[in-house]
């Protein structure tokens, strides 16, 4: 499928912005079902204004989006403590053991089981 740039209207500020062919391809590859509703400026403002937003804390401090593959029962796929999250199984890139992930692994990045991740980052110890 060949993509072409599209002009969209931001739902926040009402300005026109371009949804490029490259962005459309990225959205399709990631499985996103909808086009963006906000321009880049409004998305940045929105992310920065939310509690725990990108401007306040890193994703690691918020407990979301880490590449660790921590197997924390009862934690949601967002890593925010909500139950019922989806988990994925993978093989640890270091020891070859099982890793339980709260994100869908991509083949171009390594994943680690909990113990290997902690050993790599120096985060060993009691939780």
Q: What are 74-87's pLDDT values in tens digits? A: 444 444 444 567 88
pLDDT band at 90 (very low <50, low <70, confident <90, very high): confident
Q: Mean of the per-residue pLDDT values for the chain?
A: 75
Which carries the bigger pLDDT value, residue 18 or residue 78?
18
What is the rounded CA–CA span in Å between residue 69 and residue 74? 14
pLDDT reported for residue 124? 63
8 A C-beta contact, residue 106 and residue 84: no
pLDDT reported for residue 36? 92
Q: What is the dihedral of CA 103, 108, 114, 116, to 10 degrees?
A: -170
pLDDT band at 52 (very low <50, low <70, confident <90, very high): low
59 pLDDT more than 80: no
What is the rounded CA–CA span in Å between residue 78 and residue 64? 6
């Amino acid at each position: 499928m060949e993509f072409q740039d599209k002009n969209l209207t931001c739902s926040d500020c009402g300005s026109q912005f371009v949804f490029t062919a490259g962005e459309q391809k990225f959205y399709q590859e990631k499985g996103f079902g909808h086009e963006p509703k906000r321009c880049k400026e409004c998305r940045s403002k929105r992310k920065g204004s939310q509690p725990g937003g990108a401007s306040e804390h890193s994703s690691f401090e918020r407990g979301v989006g880490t590449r660790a593959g921590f197997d924390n029962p009862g934690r949601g796929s967002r890593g925010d403590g909500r139950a019922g999250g989806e988990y994925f199984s993978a093989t640890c890139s270091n020891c070859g053991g099982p890793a339980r992930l709260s994100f869908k692994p991509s083949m171009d990045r390594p994943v680690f089981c909990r113990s290997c991740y902690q050993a790599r980052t120096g985060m060993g110890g009691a939780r």
